[in-house]
Structure 1
């Protein structure tokens, strides 16, 4: 938990520096029909904020230091790629015609968000990556099937919340998902190479 806290703190230090020092004007991300279909929800803020607890579970349940470091490497890779994209190709969500005073839980979030960090959604990337790690961990200990469902639904809820809070649009979600899948695939491939050489 301490390592996760330090990692998150370091990430946010770099994140806010990049957000407050953009080299160019952010590009506005286009909307899709799904973005119009998903309603704004004040309640989604709870799911959105739960990411910070959710991502601590995989490192906490790591069976050994090797697995713990694998989690850390994956998270660091996603953060580095995301921050690099935010720096070189900053993007932002459109200005939605929403009266945020009607959504008190989201009002603070909107007031503090500086933009430039839309694509890819790191919120989605970390949720999907954690779901993949947790899925493997649960299978390795023959955990009950319902725990797998809870894991998947929690991750899906976080992904949904990024749209319902209007922090991201669908294309950001797709980008975050692809980033997580690629990092997860690279991690699995590296693990197989290590086992083959052993």
Structure 2
């Protein structure tokens, strides 16, 4: 008798969490096509986080860790899924085309835009939650962290831009030429 009650109550709990995860996934699916709205909401969330840091003058380590994590996400967003720097020329492996007469291969990101947005929002929410606990407010001299972050950002972005120049790829679709089909040209 006790076993049946435990099984039915655990079955109800698991059904509740399954339903909750389905509802959450449905919400994410409906949100997917609204890119501008998603990014505006993410920026607002980051600004709320930064406002909290500014008002309470603390949690600089959390802010630094969040900044480093967002920088890593951004680099993964800018990097092609198949990295041409691995240089598979001798083995006939994948590489990006470098001449106009070579086969067209579309730019595929290592981190897709939706996953990039989702990781930014999720990490910012976690960072915001961390600011409610004093244990994460480690006393540090924040200007040093700012200098470390700026230095790391400049070095990382310089390396990424040099990689983009060397392998001739542009990870953004804005201002790229768009070609029409023969049927659409009429």
Q: Structure 1 length normalisation: TM-score? A: 0.31
Structure with larger RCO (C-alpha < 8 A, sep 6+): 1
Structure with higher Rg: it is: 2
Q: Which has the higher helix share?
A: 1
Q: Structure 2 length normalisation: TM-score? A: 0.33
